[in-house]
Amino acid sequence: MKTAIRILGTALSVLLLVPTFLTGCGRNNSRSAVGAAVVQLSDHTTANANATVQTMNRKAEAVTFLMAAKVVSLQANSTDTTGSKTDPFIPTLASSANDQTENPIKAAANTASSWQALSMETETLGTFRYWLYTPSDPTDDMPLIVYLHGGSGKGDDLNLITSIDGFPKYLQDGTLGDIPAYVIIPQLPSSKKGWTDVGADLMSLIRYIRNTYNVSSSRISLTGHSMGGTGTWGVAAAYPASFSKIAPCSGSINNTTINVNKLKGIPVRAFVGSADTIVSPDSSINFVAALKQAGGDAEVTVFDGAGHFDVPALVYLDENIAIVDWLLSEPCAHGETEIRNAKEATCCENGYTGDTYCKKCGEKLSDGEVIPATGHKFFWKTTKLATENEPGLKEELCSVCRLKTGNSEEVAYTGHITGDINGDGKVNNKDLARLFQYLSDWDVEVDVTALDINGDGATNNKDLTRLFQYLSDWDVEIY
């Protein structure tokens, strides 16, 4: 009995001392399960929750913290059902939709069960931390948004991302509402300079999420701000077949032919601030212009007077821009197409069959082909008919472009004018009518020496046709 009393007294003493111990624990020097719980409650508890905690009995407060520490401790040594390890320093926010019991850790996160702080192991990085947002009613073939944070989010504390960067914060605090898509927000380790340094690891994470949650492989989009905007350009250029759309914000990219050719097939919506002194807006502006020149579906929005850190709110919160809706929109089926930039070949210049574009979305679907120049097609054309007493003249010219070579020949007079059927000294439509009448057995007078228009030694409908062609300025001869 005395032994039991001593044990009970010791336990109560520990409970009374825990708050004091916890007060001395900081984020940097605490890696115990209890310290992790304190960090998370400090990061996520709202002002009202803080006021409530301050009024709690110190013994009850200590018990609550120990209970939270127990939950985190269990999670730190566990693996979730997807195979991805939960982060030992941030509690996993997962509970049944029917669970009505108030959980202090869940309440502190302020986002219910849509958020999970997870990590996966990679050969090059070791632990690769990321936030996973799950929509309220997930189904198969849902889209996936991949967000790349800026430089201030680097490290091993996922809370840096949601407290600093725009899109993650707006998504976590509910400003963006319930997005009908999965969202992953990976964290770049402090040892890495930029997102292209971990491109292979990022693609491994995307493949893992895609396969685990049956994400639609044709609806994976990429966006990010600052270092994440540059990363959006760079990662998409490295893996262009992996992304359906990209929306880089305040990023930069080298304006090279190689990058243009890699990205011209991906719809792009870029955003920059005109007053950005950290990343020059000209980089995105010039590159988008190059994409458009190459036939890409690309646009850039320049926010007049906006600085570097003004851009996220202007992009992700503007209902007119609706960038999230654009990222999630279904790919165009390209049902109706049209040909643009077609050009006929000439004697001296190549032609072009034209590029195929979608009439609905304007995307360039395929390039045309070059049509070789035809080259000149020269022939002899009578420019002056021989008469009974004077010779005629014929000149060499191109039947396509009418270019004259300067060569000419005299046509000997034959004692008659070929084609002058009615004998009035001229060749015109009256002769055409007279020849028609003659061939139709009308009782009309004709100059029989002028009837053989095509020079085949006979008079028939072929001569009528040849005379019609000649009078219509076709490239034909009459004899």
Q: Which domains does the chain have, with CATH numbers?
A: 1-82 (no CATH), 111-328 (3.40.50.1820), 337-371 (no CATH), 378-471 (1.10.1330.10)
Concatenating the DSSP letter of every residue in 279-296 gives: S-HHHHHHHHHHHHHTT-
Q: Which residue has the higher pLDDT, 227 or 427?
A: 227
Q: What is the pLDDT of residue 191?
A: 94
User: What is the Cα–Cα distance from 225 to 234, expressed in whole angstroms?
Assistant: 13
Model pLDDT for residues 364-404, shown as the tens digit of each residue = 788 899 999 988 888 888 777 776 667 878 888 888 888 88
Q: What is the mean pLDDT of the chain?
A: 77
Q: What is the pLDDT of residue 251?
A: 97
Q: Which residue has the higher pLDDT, 311 or 389?
A: 311
CA dihedral of 59, 60, 63, 69, whole degrees rounded to 10: -120
Q: What is the pLDDT of residue 381?
A: 80
Q: Answer for the pair 132, 116: CB distance below 8 angstroms, yes or no.
A: yes
CA 166 to chain centre: 22
Token readout for 94 is 């997962």
Q: What is the pLDDT of residue 352?
A: 96
pLDDT category, 455, cuts 50, 70, 90? confident
User: What is the Cα–Cα distance from 351 to 363, expressed in whole angstroms?
Assistant: 23
Give the least confident one: 13-17, 219-223, 233-237, 438-442: 13-17
Q: What is the pLDDT of residue 70?
A: 31
pLDDT category, 247, cuts 50, 70, 90? very high
Q: Could you tell me where the beta strands, DSSP code E, fall in 286-376?
A: 298-303, 337-340, 351-352, 355-358, 364-366, 370-371
Q: Best-predicted range by mean pLDDT among 19-28, 315-324, 449-458? A: 315-324
User: What is the Cα–Cα distance from 402 to 349, expressed in whole angstroms?
Assistant: 15
Res. 26: pLDDT tops 70: no
Q: Which residues are within 8 A (CB) of 179 and not within 5 positions of it... i.e. 6 or more apart?
A: 133, 135, 145, 171, 324, 328
| β-strand partners of 222 | 146, 246
Model pLDDT for residues 154-187, shown as the tens digit of each residue = 999 999 999 876 999 999 999 999 999 999 999 9
Res. 286: pLDDT tops 50: yes
The amino acid present at 111, given as its one-letter code, is T
User: What is the Cα–Cα distance from 73 to 63, expressed in whole angstroms?
Assistant: 15
Give the least confident one: 73-77, 86-90, 292-296, 433-437: 73-77
Q: What share of the chain is helix, strand, coil (3-state, %, to 5)?
A: 40, 20, 45
What is the average per-residue pLDDT within 127-139? 93
Q: Which residue has the higher pLDDT, 38 or 438?
A: 438
What is the average per-residue pLDDT within 47-57? 35
User: What is the Cα–Cα distance from 195 to 198, expressed in whole angstroms?
Assistant: 6
Res. 42: pLDDT tops 70: no
**Residue 391 three-state SS:** coil
